């Protein structure tokens, strides 16, 4: 039985309705979907996303990491650390996302996640794994003559951390891409991030500031959330847990420090968006400093939530959050609509059969 949390905590309200056929309108939209690489054929969520994309060619879609999962022992065990390995199974999982883009005329971007690195905690071992996926995605999208950007679709490229950015909609929107797992890797088995990674945060601040000087709407796109409610907040101190597992949780030292530094930067820029996946759920968090955090990680997987995880939210996150909307055990994605003055946010949930406007 599905368990939904709409109106549970600080939710002021949202207007929900069944999804009706969309009509393309002037303006520009950005669609957000993450963790979509677990199905060998498009499911209901991806099919609904493909329909929305085709009806809104003046748009961009961001695939927010974990673009391919590989189950271990030929799928007999349904969990695993690995990602794309050029096997037929993982090829089909990536193609399940690419196929919905066949007739799409907008912009397409894929961001790397921890599974795309095979959860490797060593950069030299993980980079060749990531390169296989990057090469496959870029080769296939370069042959797609419909999309607006057949090049520069996997970003940041070549195992670098970024920040890299693109400017869309007559340069009114700046999307900044970062590889958060590349940052976490550098702090593996360390109590703090090494000095050589610190210039990344200065560059991120500089690229955001430049966008604000140009009066652009700035969106930072990554895989790992800065804020989340749910299992990512679990405290994992058990010494026998694999490091690959530990790095996925916000309590891991390198992850915690990275999130804190990014959060400090973002709070200098009211109105900015930080969009991510990783948590297999849909969440919209609006802080008291007017920063928007969106988690759209329900492209092919769904997480559950416990009463204890709600308590963690109440004790640790609630003081900084002004508005929270969550959806659990429900496939879906987000839409940012920049048509007309201001912007509008929509959440597609219940495998994208329903759509919710977030005021």
**Which tokens is 125 given?**
């071992």
- pLDDT tens-place string over residues 220-238: 999 999 988 888 876 655 5
Q: Is pLDDT at 49 greater than 80 in this prediction?
A: yes
- Supply the pLDDT for residue 336: 98
Spatial neighbors of 77 by CB under 8 A, at least 6 apart, are: 71
For 82, the token pair is 């690995």
- Give residue for tokens 């748009």: 59
pLDDT tens track for 119-136: 999 999 999 999 999 999
Tens of pLDDT along 262-303?
999 999 999 999 999 999 999 999 999 999 999 999 999 998
Q: Is the pTM of this model over 0.85?
A: yes
Q: What is the pLDDT of residue 229?
A: 86
Rounded to the nearest 10 degrees, how much is the dihedral formed by the CA atoms of 53, 335, 216, 221? -90
Instruction: For the chain, give the mean pLDDT.
Output: 88
| pLDDT greater at residue 252 or residue 242 | 252
Domains and CATH numbers, the chain: 15-358 (3.60.21.10)
Q: Which residues contact 213 (CB under 8 A, 6 or more apart)?
A: none
**Cα dihedral value 277, 278, 280, 284, nearest 10:** -40
């Amino acid at each position: 039985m599905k368990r939904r949390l709409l109106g549970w905590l600080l939710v002021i309200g949202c207007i929900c309705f069944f999804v009706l056929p969309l009509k393309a309108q002037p303006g520009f939209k950005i669609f957000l979907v993450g963790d979509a690489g677990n199905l060998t054929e498009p499911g209901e969520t991806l099919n609904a996303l493909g329909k929305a994309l085709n009806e809104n060619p003046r748009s961009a879609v961001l695939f927010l990491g974990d673009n391919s999962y590989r189950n271990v022992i030929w799928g007999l065990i349904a969990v695993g650390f690995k990602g794309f390995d050029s096997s037929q199974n993982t090829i089909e999982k990536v193609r399940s996302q690419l196929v919905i883009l066949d007739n799409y005329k907008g912009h397409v971007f894929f961001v790397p996640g921890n599974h795309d690195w095979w959860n490797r905690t060593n950069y030299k071992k993980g980079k060749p794994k990531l390169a296989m996926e990057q090469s496959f995605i870029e080769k296939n999208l370069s042959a797609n003559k419909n999309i607006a950007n057949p090049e520069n679709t996997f970003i940041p490229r070549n195992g670098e951390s970024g920040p890299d950015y693109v400017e869309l909609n007559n340069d009114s929107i700046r999307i900044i891409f970062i590889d958060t797992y590349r940052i976490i890797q550098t702090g593996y088995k360390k109590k703090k991030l090494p000095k050589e990674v610190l210039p990344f945060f200065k560059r991120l601040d500089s690229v955001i500031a430049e966008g604000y000087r140009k009066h652009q709407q700035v969106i930072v796109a990554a895989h790992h959330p800065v804020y989340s409610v749910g299992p990512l907040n679990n405290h994992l101190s058990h010494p026998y847990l694999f490091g690959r597992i530990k790095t996925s949780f916000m309590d891991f030292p390198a992850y915690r420090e990275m999130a804190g530094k990014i959060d400090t930067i973002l709070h200098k820029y009211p109105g900015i968006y930080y969009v991510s996946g990783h948590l297999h759920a849909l969440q919209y968090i609006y802080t008291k400093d007017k920063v928007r955090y969106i988690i759209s990680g329900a492209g092919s997987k769904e997480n559950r939530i416990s009463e204890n995880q709600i308590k963690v939210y109440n004790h640790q996150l609630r003081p900084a959050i002004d508005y929270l909307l969550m959806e659990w055990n429900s496939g879906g994605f987000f839409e940012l609509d920049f048509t007309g003055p201001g912007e509008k946010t929509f959440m597609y949930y219940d495998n994208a059969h329903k759509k919710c406007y977030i005021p």
